[in-house]
Each structure stands twice: as structure tokens, then as C-alpha cells.
Structure 1
Amino acid sequence: MACKTLLKLFSTLAAAALISACGPQIGKEAATPKGIAAEHQLALTDVVSSQLAPLSLGGNEYLLLASEKRGLVLVDKEGNEKLALDGGTVERFALHPLEQGSWLIAVYDEDSGELQLRLLDVEEGSPRIRYLAAMATDAPQVAMCFSSQAGRTHLFAIDETGLGHEYVVHPREQAWTFTGLRPLYFGEQVSSCVVDDRRGKLLVAQPPLGIWSLNADAEMDEARQVFIAASDLPAGEFGGLWLDEVNGNLWLTVAEKVMAFDINDPAKGPLFVETLADIEPVSAAVQGEALLALEEESDQVHRFAVSLPQPPAEMQAFRGPVEIPRVRASGQTAPVASGGDAADDPAIWVNPAKPSASLILGTDKKSGLSVYDLSGKLVEHFEVGRVNNVDLRPMQHGKFVAIAAATNRTDPGVSLFGITAAGAVEYLGLRNLEMEDPYGLCVYRKGADLMTWVSDKEGAVQLLQIVPGTGNVDWSLRKVASLEVASQVEGCVVDDEMQMLFFGEEDGGIWRLDIAAYLAGEAKPQLIAPVDGERLAADVEGMGFYHAADKSYLVVSSQGNNSYALFNRDGSEFVGHFKVDINLDKGLDGSSETDGLEVSSAALGAQYPQGLLVVQDGRNRMPSASQNFKLVSWADIAETLQLP
């Protein structure tokens, strides 16, 4: 301490003398080991590399290196060069295994300003790299990583401004294609990324903030959180992520150190920490029993003999979630006019004279009711307020062949719409209710009468009769009964023939009520399908009935796992479930976070010969846009679930 004080007070010459006097202390610091030394260096020629990755190809082990002079360079374990692009300036790449032992490579070429796809495979016993596709970018890409999702290959690419994009990369005819799925926003200084496909997590290194974890599936909430905080890492630049998928370890470089964390539980601290002598690595990986490390813009790969961490017990025992079957979307509607969480609930009007001219009614809960044709084109929009749920039934009337009703939260009540035989929709006005916040709604027929159940968001469910009028203004609602419920109810549907009400308690499950018995004071609601996190994951939302000649199904939106559950007609037996998936051939994304749905068994033309399911899509992707409704052919659902 005395030496330090004197150094601050004396002149440079005096300080130099004192430094000499303090020599034993400095000598002690100098004697501290700097770290482990490399057992071997692989000397390369004109590579100038800042990233490496090990791979197996044709039964042999190789290293792939980014090259600022020659694009990509492949060397064997001894450092012997096997091939190079011999062109382009590449600092970063992503690597993804394909079938038959080949590899897909994504690179950003600084010379062309392109994000490129390449294929690494073997021809006549020798490795080769082939060009697949390229796409110009607005800014240099600083991080790239691949993901496997539902049999597809997804690519995440993040540029130097922090703007990321997710693409589906896939072959189409004679070339590969980048299909944009969604943007992602990070901010500057992103250094690298990897994807843990077992858990569906995208991991992004962003000095000096830390390493982020996000859901890799675009149809899930982003759920961004800190995976490893910068405060839990040594001081210095960090990045250079590499995931050992076999052993479940995430490797990264930090200043002069290489570290490894258990991908299952990074909070318990690093499994491996080593300081490397004489180098500050920017890329590190494990090949066999050796640790490989690379300095920035280097022509040498350093190989270290170290004691590697064993696979964690969690990794050995881990089993990914059970994959829910997927059915591709067949079509979609135009996006709703309002942004944010706006689209909510659909209804289907079947045109009895010309089924292919049927209509889809969909609510924009910030604006009104939209009408679409079966191609998804917007036919008309009624700006009548914050309509939430909509349902309809055919009826005999002098002017209309069907009546639709929708809860209206702007001026609490129910908005009515008439549909003519020609498919024209007319607004019949609003009928007010003694209700705080009209929310869920379902319409049904009781003999010649048209009935509707309407839920108050924070209160009871009311049964109302829709009393027809001769004109557009003299329709009315007559309250018949009230049903007390334990918590919030939105989705509901009635089996008209059986006179059974089914409604969803969002975090509870599916309830069933014999309407006639209830009105006679002889029945109460029964919980027939509780939320279990698998078949039904809260929230329980939209409901519809598919009535076929020999089989009927209750279809329910299981919002918590972005799936749709099928039950038998009385709701007592789980039949199966599915997700609505991307349709690359038609450029359609899947659906997620679904509120309302509707289903019809009517043959609606060549595209929907066995009927149609319409679901609200909470995240409209490819490209990102306001919410809309996805259309799914029932024939595809039946085939996927092998329904009789």
C-alpha cells in the first residue's frame, strides 16, 4: 500500500526508482500462471479466420473455418486443407446437419453483401461445397444460427444494427428459397447465436448485457429472458457461442477464457473454466477429447488437452415435449384493420344454394365485424363498435335466411345482422343488455325460436331469445334465464339437436349443461374436461361442433399450447389434437394464441370437400401483419388424426 501511495506523489523518475523497490511484489504477480498452453497448433495458410466449427463428413472429422480472404476453408483434424471457396470475405457462418450426412451452411459475404446458402457434401469420396441460394441484405450480418422445427429448417440472422430475421430456408424447384417469417429486435453489439432445438430456445450473446434466451418458435410468446447475465461472466468481451448438442453444454469465449455451461441449468454456474495462455479466443469448440480455440483474424487453430465436463444427468434423462400433430393451413383472410390484439371470433354462413359462395364473419374487437369470402378476401366491414364474439344460425324469415349476433362492448349489448339468400349482410342494429361487459356468445335454435347465451366478462351468463321483427329496427332480445359461473367464460357452443350447452372456463376446462333440465331446475353444469396442460392448456377459448352423418366432434381452442383439441359429441372422450402449421407452398404461416374458432361439415367446394375449420390467429407471420383468421380443410384434419 505504501508503494502505491508513493507512486502517486513522486515524479516519473522517482516513481521509476520506487517501482524498482517494489519489485518483489510485481515479480510475485508476474509469476502467476497465465493459463494452460496449447499442446498443438494447426498452421493454416491465408485463412484469416474468426470462427471455427467441427463436423463429421463421410466418416471423417473436419474443421470448417470462416475466411476473410477465401470465403470458407475446410481442413482435416491435422490441419491439412481439403477445400476452399477461394473467394469472398466471410467472418461468420452457421452450420446445420442434413440427411445423408451433408451440411447446410449459411454465410454472410461482405464482398457481395449477401446472405448465402451453401451445401457441404461428398462427391466420389472428396468433400465439396455447392452454391444453393443468395439474398441481398440491408446491413452486414453479425450472427447466424439454424433451427429444426417440424421437419423444416429455420435460419436466424441478426445484423450489426441489432435487427434480426427468422427465415424458413427450403428447396423450391431447382433452387433454395428464403421465406421471411418474422423480425426480431435486439439492439447493437450482438456477437453470436445458437439454437437449442431440444427445448426450442434461441440463445443470443449481446455484450455487455448478457446472453438472452427466446422461444425459437414464432408461434409462441417470445418469452425473452436473461440466460446468463454479464455479471456472472468474467470481465471482457464475450460471445463465440457453440452448442455441444450431444452433451448439452453451451461453450463460449470470454476475454482470455473458455467456459462451458449446462444448457439445462446455467444458473448453477460454469461446468468448465480455463484461461488460455497467450491468446484471447473468439471462437471455441470441442472435437473428440480436445478443446479447439481460435483468435480473431488468425491463421492458427490452437488445440488444448483438457478434462472436459461430463454430460449432466438432466441431459441424459431429458426428453423433449411430445410433438403435437400438425395440419397445414389451407387459406387465410385479409388482416383485420386494427393493430394489436384485435381479431377474435369467426362464424361461417353456409350458402345452401351455392356452398362455394359461403361467407366467413369475423370480429375485429377494436372496430366491428368483417365479412370475407372463402378465398379470404374482405367483402365488407361494419364499423359498429368493439364486437367480441359472433355466432349465427339459419332461420325462416321473410327477408333473411340467417341471423348473426355479436356481443358489443362499446355500448353494452348485442349487435344483430341479417343474411339474405343472395349472401348480402345487413346490420339490424344494437340491442342493449343489463350487463357490464358482454363478452362470449353462442347462438342456437330451440324449435322455431332463435336463442343465444351471452356471458358477462366478470359475471353471469344470460340466456336470451332473439325475437324477430318485420323490419330492421323492431328485433328484440328477451331474457329467459341466468347462469352463475365460477370464473370468466368466453367460448361456448350449443348442440342444437341435443340441446346441450358447452362452455369454457378459461383456466378451468370445459363444462356441459343440459339446457332443458337446467331451466326445469333439475341440472347444474358439469366439468367434463378439466385443464390438464396437455390435452387442454389454459386458456380454454373458442368452441365449435363438426356434425357429420355418422360422427360429431367438439372442437376446442387450447390456447396455452397453441393447439386444437377434439372431443366426442358429449365431450367426455378426448379424440386427439393438432396444431395449424406453415404451408410453404401457399406462403401461409400457422396459427397460435387462438381465441375464437368455428367449424362446418358442409362441403364448401373443391378446396373444402369435407368442411372447413376457421381459427383466429394471434400472430400473423410471413410477413408480420395484423391478426387474421386461418382456414383449414377438415379433410386434412381427418387424414392427420386418422378419423373414421
Structure 2
Amino acid sequence: MAKQSLIKFLSVALLSGLLAACIDSIGSAQGTNIALKPQGSLNLSGVASSQLAPVGFGDEEYLLLASETKGLVLVSTESAELASLGHGSAERFALHRQPDGGWLIISADESQAALQVFSLALESGGQPKFKLLASQSSPVPIAALCSAAQGSATQLFAIDENGLGHEYRIYAAEGRWGIAEVRSLHFGEQVSSCAIDERREQLLVAQPPLGIWQMNASAERDESRRVFLAGEKLQGEFAGLWLDAKRDLAWLAAGDTLSAHSLEESGKQVFSAALDDLEPVSVVIASGKLAFLEEEAEQIFVADAGALPMATVAKKEEAVTTYSISARAETTPVGSGGDAADDPAIWINPTDAAKSLILGTDKKSGLNIYNLDGELLQSFAVGRVNNVDLRPVNHPHYQAIAAASNRTTPGVSLFGISVKGEVESLGLQTMDLKDPYGLCLYQQGADLFAWLSDKEGGLHLVEIQLAEARGQWQLRRRADLPVESQVEGCVADDERRMLFFGEEDKGVWRLDIAAFLAGEGRPELIAPADGERLVADVEGLDLYLQGDDSFLVVSSQGDNSYALFSRDGSEFVGRFRVVENLDLGVDGSSETDGLAVTSKALGPDYPAGLLVVQDGRNRMPAEAQNFKLISWADIGASLQL
């Protein structure tokens, strides 16, 4: 049945007075109530449906229904049943179009106590057909389902009748479909429906009688839950929440009232109509017509939607392209809960690069040591160490020295690493600082220094003086650099004698160390937090050093991304986010504090080097914070470095 047939079938016009009333109401600020009567219906014999949605294939348009007797049902514009599962009890579904023109449908089937994933596509003869792709147990009945495309995967929210919500990813890998849980969410009982505003990455959840909640749909951002539409502004048991991307509106059925609310203007009502003797639970727009269902309906009611409000939807464009790159591995979560993992460093094994180590701080406990598979090898409970860095040294007992700022006893904790990768704690030296915070090492020949920030003050240069005897060392203060606000991330370019540090709210500064020590150099702001390339807070910094292909890597914590600059920081190169790797079950990263990078080849997974970043929200499943491992070869390929 062609799209024109649907228009013909649903084209019974409203009375001219009613149309005029619609037009008048749309022009008002709050959409004055009008009386809206259905002008036609489609019979649904034996379907018993409480949800419908338009589904199109080219010029063909159909209606998909959740059926309590036949699972999923696809009907034509003449109410002819074109396809159905023929069994099951689907209470609700979520769907979106696939790149190949077909549809992905997720159904909550109470008879199977499961979430079921189907494709809906046209066979070679043009007949639509459902195909089961995956299934997952769901013992508690589902009250709301909504989905959206997310890269090559599908983002799904399922909220059960107890008010517990789950975010999933549905994806295909090696010819099979999988369902991976990302996180759980708590809403409370009586949720009736949900929808995803893809343009703004927002999740809307209807929860009578409280109202409509709005929150960030991305698992890598704070929930930021807030009221989109208060319950006292609505009537009855509101349901049927549906987002109209074309008009940029949220439609809602509340009792016998149908209303539309601006997504751009935070729920402002732009249209309202009283439905004559009807209380729909599902409402959509198909071919310019309103179609709606009552609870367990055997017919679809239709009405003219020619005078419905329109909104101009401006295409959202990023000022700077942000690429998506998946991690190859992740570390064991830190032992402390809350905001605990903070800063990593990478030790390169000089005899076997595949046996290199990752050092990572648990800022509530101490320092952890991991292998390149992310397995925890050692933990040093030395106190609240915040940032860590290391350098190779010429020493009779150690191949490298790692230093960490310690906030339990204000000072610096030192660690020795043998040529075999054996790590030992060398104790702590105190400093006259209120709260040691950021730290990075700086090396000139045999001389080893640490730049250390005070959370309430500036940067301080101290020399680490190592004795030949095992575990013997001391600190000597060399210089102080005043800074106006908080500094944490920093990195020194030893060869060029340059220091880069991040003033969290302002951006990245560069300091000529030699000139500064001679009393002439002053910091220069080279990469401001402009809200596009860098979004405050500016956190971790490190240098990828590979001849002419060298880069400064900066964590842009404010929008969960990473920015690359030229080695001297003067030229912006590109930016990226670390996203989930569904094949490996590794989630993305967000709210990154520290990071570390090396250009050394570390085996087949990291042939061009390794980037390690802290992850502030560890998902899939939800666990304590950890660190993600990203192949530099993947970064180079995406950004065409």
C-alpha cells in the first residue's frame, strides 16, 4: 500500500470551525485547549494493542503495534495484517531505522519474560518480515522502553514496573547479536513511558503523578536529572510520551488531553487538545495525521493534524570534529569507592616491552601496579597519593624512579623500579605545603626534579637527590612559580626544557624552564579553555614523542574528550573521545583526571604506542573507577596523523 493510500485513507477533514480553532490555539503562548474528535478509525481484530508507531519502507508506510495476543503486528493503511509474530504478549516496544533501510525493534514480551530484539525488513518479494536477533531475560515486567542509534550500536533504556531502569547496548559482532548492560538507573514506581531526544542526548521519562523527568542520556556524563514538565500541569495518568524530531516537540497523552511541548524551550506547551470521550495511551503522527490508541484497543483512531505546530529544527553542528575511538583494555578497578582513581604513568620494560607496567594512583589509598592486560600486580598503601610520574635513572638498584604527590602526610612518595619490573616503595619526604596535588618529573642529565603544585597555591620545583644506598634520598626546594588558580596536570619536555601545566579553568600554559630559572621566563597561555577545543576543567597532560610526529595530549574533562596539540602546544591538531568497545566489553572514559602516553611499541595491540586515561565512570558493569588503555595506532588512523 503506497504512502498516498495512507493519506487518502486518513484524509477525512475536520470541520472548518475546528480547523480554525486549531490554528488559533497554535498561535497562543500556551496552546489554548480545543475539542478534537477522531475522524476515522482502523479496526484491529484480535490485536489488543496499547502502543503503535509509524514504520516506513521507501514510499510505503505502515503502522507497527504491540499486541497482547500476537506479539508484534504490522498493519497496512487498510488495517490488513501484513506481518506478525503470531504469538507472545508484547506490552511495548522501542524501534529505530537501520542504515540499510530496515528497522530494529526491541520488544518487552511478558509471556516470555524477556526483552527480544527483532529486525523488520522487506524480503525479496517485497513482503515485510520479522526476524529474531537476540533475547535477554527480564523477570520483572517492563513499564517503558526507548531506543536510539549510537554509532554502529543501539542504545536502549528499559525501565521495569519496580522503577529500576537499565541502559543496554545492542550490537552485532562476528555475525551474532549481543545485548550488553551499561548501567542501572533508579526512578521509582509508576513510570509509564520514555523517549530519547537524540539531538540533545537527553532521556525523558514520564512518571505519573510526579511529571516528566529529563536527564543526560549518555552514560559518560552526570545524570543531571531535572523536571521537564511538572505533574501538576498535566491531567490523569499521563502516558504515550513520543518525540517528534521533525517538529522538535514532545507529545503526551494525559487523560483525555493531548499536548505538545517544545524540546528547545524546556517543556513549554505549544499545543493542547481535549479528546472527545477518549483517553489514549499511545499517540503518533503518520503522514500528517494523528493516530492514537486507547488501552488494549481493537481500533486505531485518526484525526487531521494539518494545523499542528511546527518548529524550525536547526541542525546541531560541532564547532570542532570529535572522533570516537575505542579502548583496547581496562585495568582492574581501584579498591576505593567514589572519586578515587586519578593519574597513571607508564614504565617501559627495557628488555621486553610486552612486560611494561602501568602505575595508577588510588588517591584514597595508594599506588597500584598493573600489567598491559590491566591485571593488578601490586598495591602500595602509602596514603592519598594524587599524581604520579616516572623517569629512567642511572642507579645501582633501580632502572627508573616514580614519584607521587602525597596528601596524607604532605610531601612526595618515591618508588624504585628494577630492570625486571620489580617495584618497591622508597618512603616519603615531607614538604611545607598545605595540600600537595599535581606532580610531574623533569630530568636534566643525571639531575632529577619534580614540579609539584599546592592545591591552594602555585607550582614548586624540587630536586630529588638519590643516594647510591638503597632507599636513601632527599628533597631540595629549588624554585616557586605563583599561579592564580588550581593546577593539577603537568608535563615536562626534558629535551626542550619546557613545562606545560593546566590551570583547570583557564587552559594550558607553557613555561621556558631555563629562562624561568634565570629570572626571565614567564608562563604563556598557549591553549585556552575556549569551550570548543578545550572545555574546562583541563586535567591530565602528557607528551607523545616520536620525532616530527610528536604531540601534546590534554584531557578536556568538561566534555569528556581529549585534545591533541603540536609538541610545543602552539597548534591544535584534533580531538577525540574514548567510547565503549562492545566486542571486548570495555566501556568508554569520562571525567578523566590524569593520563599518560608513550610512543614505544608495546606489542601487537599497541604497535605505535599506548595512551592510558583515568575513567571517572566505570560502566559495563558499574564498578569502582579504573584506567582505560587505547592504542595510539587507532588514534593516528582516526585523526589521520
Q: TM-score scaled by structure 1? A: 0.92
Structure 1, unpaired ranges of 5+: 1-32
Aligned to 1:112: 112
* SS of residue in 1 equivalent to 2:440: strand
Deviation of the 1:307 alpha carbon: 4.1
Aligned to 2:46: 46
The whole-number CA distance in structure 2 between the counterparts of 1:342 and 1:350 is: 25
Aligned to 1:217: 218
Q: Cα deviation per residue 1:236-284 (whole Å; 9 max; x = unaligned)?
A: 11121111122212111000011111221144x3222111111111111
Deviation of the 1:231 alpha carbon: 2.2
* Matched ranges for 1:366-385 at <5 A: 366-385=364-383
| RMSD between superposed Cα atoms in Å | 1.5
- The AA in structure 2 aligned to 1:330 is R
* Matched ranges for 1:282-321 at <5 A: 282-313=281-312, 315-316=313-314, 318-319=316-317
- Alignment of 1:165 onto 2:149: no
* Matched ranges for 1:412-561 at <5 A: 412-561=410-559
Deviation of the 1:624 alpha carbon: 1.2
* SS of residue in 2 equivalent to 1:587: coil
Deviation of the 1:317 alpha carbon: 5.6
Aligned to 1:184: 185
Distance change in 2, residues 1:317/1:369 (3 Å): closer
* SS of residue in 1 equivalent to 2:514: helix
1:163–1:186: 8 Å Cα contact kept in structure 2?
A: yes
The whole-number CA distance in structure 2 between the counterparts of 1:361 and 1:319 is: 38
Aligned to 2:206: 205
Aligned to 1:25: none
Runs of 4+ in structure 1 off by over 4 angstroms are 316-323
2:320–2:532: 8 Å Cα contact kept in structure 1?
A: no
Deviation of the 1:118 alpha carbon: 1.1
- The AA in structure 1 aligned to 2:128 is P
The whole-number CA distance in structure 2 between the counterparts of 1:345 and 1:436 is: 20
* SS of residue in 1 equivalent to 2:604: coil
Q: Cα deviation per residue 1:396-451 (whole Å; 9 max; x = unaligned)?
A: 11111111100010111100000111110010001000000000000011221000
Deviation of the 1:174 alpha carbon: 4.1
1:495–1:545: 8 Å Cα contact kept in structure 2?
A: yes
2:397–2:470: 8 Å Cα contact kept in structure 1?
A: no
Aligned to 1:9: none
Distance change in 2, residues 1:399/1:306 (3 Å): closer
Aligned to 2:349: 351
Deviation of the 1:78 alpha carbon: 2.4
* SS of residue in 2 equivalent to 1:281: coil
* SS of residue in 1 equivalent to 2:516: helix
* SS of residue in 2 equivalent to 1:560: helix
- The AA in structure 1 aligned to 2:188 is G
Deviation of the 1:150 alpha carbon: 2.8
Percent of residue pairs bearing the same amino acid type: 55
Deviation of the 1:232 alpha carbon: 2.4
Aligned to 1:151: 152
Q: TM-score scaled by structure 2? A: 0.93
Q: Cα deviation per residue 1:73-126 (whole Å; 9 max; x = unaligned)?
A: 211122222222221111111111112221111111111101101111111111
Deviation of the 1:323 alpha carbon: 4.8
1:97–1:103: 8 Å Cα contact kept in structure 2?
A: yes
Q: 91-100 or 334-343: which moved more?
A: 91-100
1:593–1:619: 8 Å Cα contact kept in structure 2?
A: yes
The whole-number CA distance in structure 1 between the counterparts of 2:311 and 2:109 is: 38
- Alignment of 1:126 onto 2:124: no
1:339–1:627: 8 Å Cα contact kept in structure 2?
A: yes
When Rg is computed on C-alpha atoms for both structures, the one with the higher figure is: 1
Aligned to 1:77: 77
* Matched ranges for 1:268-283 at <5 A: 269-283=268-282
Q: Which of the numbers 624, 627, 633 marks the counterpart of 1:635?
A: 633
* SS of residue in 2 equivalent to 1:63: strand
The whole-number CA distance in structure 2 between the counterparts of 1:404 and 1:249 is: 55
Distance change in 2, residues 1:552/1:155 (3 Å): same
**Count of residue pairs the alignment pairs up:** 608
Deviation of the 1:70 alpha carbon: 1.3
Distance change in 2, residues 1:321/1:625 (3 Å): farther
The whole-number CA distance in structure 2 between the counterparts of 1:84 and 1:355 is: 57
Q: 150-159 or 444-453: which moved more?
A: 150-159
Greater RCO, CA 8 A, separation 6+: 2
Distance change in 2, residues 1:108/1:322 (3 Å): farther
1:51–1:66: 8 Å Cα contact kept in structure 2?
A: yes
Aligned to 2:232: 231
Q: Which of the numbers 572, 583, 598 marks the counterpart of 2:581?
A: 583
The whole-number CA distance in structure 2 between the counterparts of 1:334 and 1:317 is: 41
2:34–2:272: 8 Å Cα contact kept in structure 1?
A: no
Q: 468-477 or 351-360: which moved more?
A: 468-477
Q: Cα deviation per residue 1:517-569 (whole Å; 9 max; x = unaligned)?
A: 11111111111111101110000001101110332111111111111111111
The whole-number CA distance in structure 2 between the counterparts of 1:325 and 1:140 is: 38
2:371–2:377: 8 Å Cα contact kept in structure 1?
A: yes
- The AA in structure 1 aligned to 2:184 is P
Aligned to 1:23: none
Distance change in 2, residues 1:479/1:588 (3 Å): same
Deviation of the 1:309 alpha carbon: 2.6
The whole-number CA distance in structure 1 between the counterparts of 2:275 and 2:161 is: 28
Deviation of the 1:337 alpha carbon: 0.6
Structure 2, unpaired ranges of 5+: 1-32
The whole-number CA distance in structure 2 between the counterparts of 1:299 and 1:520 is: 86
